[in-house]
Structure 1
Amino acid sequence: MYKVVAPESDEAFDAYFQFRWQHLRQPWNFPPGSEKDEYEQVSEHRMIVDGKGNIVASGRVHLNTAEEAQIRHIAVHPDHQRKGIGQMMLGALENVARELGATRAVTNSRETSIDFFSSCGFAIEREAPNELGLLKRQQMVKKLSATDALVLHPKWCGELQRTWTDTIPITEHMGIRLHQYTGRTLETRASLNKNINIHGTMFAGSIFSLATLTGWGMIFLQLKERQLRGDIVLGDGDIHYHKPITMKPRAISNIETMSGKFAVLEKRKKCRIELEVEILDGDTPVAEFKGIYWVLPEPKAD
């Protein structure tokens, strides 16, 4: 399970900057300390950690103006590349930029990163100053809006939202919306106001429902990825609560936590899928859900 977190303690920041130097500066023989600049104190820092708390990615964002956010220093550990971690980090930084009020994001990309940023909606605007006087870069820009999110296969995502509305009415009552889909990660969000109890926190039952629907949605989209069809049902679910939700309910499912053999559906056999969903309040992890789902082959047409 991958989590996006903000470093808070001195130890966490030391590990964060060490990771940044190791993956962005050491390969070019720059000394420790070269990974930092004058914007560190006014920036929002994020890192992605694995289930053991190891840092697998880092990134930073700060405001150049009230409307423009600068995204910098995205790094992904080589062992975790090509798993959607880079998109997950970029999506998290873009969300921070929106919350800060930015309507435009810019990044100065090295030649090796241009394809990545292009695939995420950025376009080259002009040549940027060389990094540390040596590394050639291009300034890339992306327009942000309140509803803009990193969504792959928008038609499938729209179909999922409509399916929830039409066949699982609780999604409308809870204000559950698909927020982000990268092909490997699905994030959903819910309205706190529609799920608030007398203590001013989210009902535990609503948190469970958000988790199960997010897992259901992840399987729905993975079936689309494989051009398969089937009826998805929850077989069993287990959730552990750690903290209440008081601000922004979020649920994230990552493909790395999913196990099962979708191919058996082609033989018209039911498919058992296990996966995990992380529940957060903003950026704070508050609960973990483990679910067992069954995908049933559709009945043969007469």
Structure 2
Amino acid sequence: MYTVTTPKTEKELAAYYHFRWLCLREPWGYPEGSEKDEYESVSEHRIIIGSDNKIIGCGRVHLNTSEEAQIRHIAVDNTYRRKGVGKIIIDTLEDVAREMGAERAVSNARESSIPFFSACGFMIQEDAPTELGSLKRKMVVKYLADNHVLILHPKWCAELQNTWHERIPISEHMGILLHQYTERTIETRASLNKNINLHGTMFAGSIYSLATLTGWGMLFLQMKQKGLSGEIVLGDANIHYHKPVTMKPRAVCDIESVDAKFDFLRNGKKCPASLNVNIFDNEDAVAEFTAQYWILPSKQN
């Protein structure tokens, strides 16, 4: 049985880097320490532990840009190669990249590794710089999509995402993305790495912004369903924080919490709309957001 985890303690990190060196640098005669680079502190590191509690695989991912994640240092113990360990690492790092808000993942693959990356859905994009002075490499890319979520009305959802990024640019810098929409529920997510404070948790202001945009997005999509349009503004809001966010920021708004007088909007009047948004850290409820919005009629109504 394999366990995927993040090395955190000094002992775990030392074992992780030693394993990376043994697999990726020592065979070529490079000294211990050469397995590290300047991106270690801004990267997410993952290791796979085998049944004997020893590291059997590892990998790392960091952001090149807000849209692109770089996967590096994939290593598997010789005994466990061709047993699916490498695929587990890639799948894990892709999930991390999605949580960071990346739209695509890239890696510089040695020629001998290209069949593996191809089997994982990557495509060759261009030549990459040689590694260790002589090993030829290709840059491979994979566009990330989550096939396990339900997105109804994808055109409206794409319009909402574009509206956030164009009219509220900070939403893109925060890595806020529409994750799921079912007509009755909207779920958004944010990148923890882009909103992390000195305590290693999510800024309270970032949580508030995520909740505000989630409620805003629910009203935007509800108006689309009803053939209405208008300007959504936040009137008043309260948020209660119970626990810090340390892993995966999620915000969920259910239609049952929405109380909106859309008939007012149809009649060209200002529409009051109240709702609740629940904030989760992965599956743990951590905050509750209650808000009063106003939808101002537009000339189209």
The two structures have a TM-score, normalised by structure 1, of 0.52
Q: Which amino acid aligns with 1:152?
A: L
- In the other structure, the counterpart of 1:56 is none
- Output the CA distance in 2 between the equivalents of 1:225 and 1:180: 16
Q: How many residues align?
A: 164
- Output the CA distance in 1 between the equivalents of 2:211 and 2:255: 15
- In the other structure, the counterpart of 2:112 is none
Q: How does 1:122-271 map to 2 (within 5 A)?
A: 146-148=145-147, 149-271=149-271
User: In structure 2, the residue corresponding to 1:198 is in which secondary structure?
Assistant: coil
Cα distance per residue 1:81-104 (max 9 Å; x no partner):
xxxxxxxxxxxxxxxxx97xxxxx
Computing the radius of gyration from Cα coordinates, the structure with the larger value is: 2
- Output the CA distance in 1 between the equivalents of 2:277 and 2:235: 15
- Output the CA distance in 1 between the equivalents of 2:201 and 2:189: 15
Q: How does 1:28-177 map to 2 (within 5 A)?
A: 146-148=145-147, 149-177=149-177
What are structure 1's unaligned runs of at least 5 residues? Answer: 1-65, 67-97, 100-144
Q: Which amino acid aligns with 1:251?
A: A
Quote the sequence identity (%): 63
The two structures have a TM-score, normalised by structure 2, of 0.52
User: In structure 1, the residue corresponding to 2:260 is in which secondary structure?
Assistant: coil
Aligned-pair CA distance for 1:185? 0.1
Q: Which runs of 4+ in 1 moved over 3 A?
A: none
What are structure 2's unaligned runs of at least 5 residues? Answer: 1-83, 85-93, 96-143
- In the other structure, the counterpart of 2:119 is none
Aligned-pair CA distance for 1:147? 1.9
- Output the CA distance in 2 between the equivalents of 1:239 and 1:254: 17
Aligned-pair CA distance for 1:299? 3.9
Cα distance per residue 1:125-179 (max 9 Å; x no partner):
xxxxxxxxxxxxxxxxxxxx84222000000000000000110111111000000
- In the other structure, the counterpart of 1:131 is none
- Output the CA distance in 2 between the equivalents of 1:250 and 1:243: 13
Aligned-pair CA distance for 1:266? 1.3
User: In structure 1, the residue corresponding to 2:173 is in which secondary structure?
Assistant: helix
- Output the CA distance in 1 between the equivalents of 2:211 and 2:289: 6
1:270–1:196: structure 2 CA closer, same or farther, 3 Å change rule?
Answer: same
Q: Which amino acid aligns with 1:286?
A: V
Q: Which amino acid aligns with 2:197?
A: N
- Output the CA distance in 2 between the equivalents of 1:154 and 1:146: 13
User: In structure 2, the residue corresponding to 1:200 is in which secondary structure?
Assistant: coil
1:243–1:222: structure 2 CA closer, same or farther, 3 Å change rule?
Answer: same
Q: Which amino acid aligns with 1:262?
A: F
- Output the CA distance in 2 between the equivalents of 1:165 and 1:146: 19
- Output the CA distance in 1 between the equivalents of 2:155 and 2:263: 23
- Output the CA distance in 2 between the equivalents of 1:278 and 1:266: 29
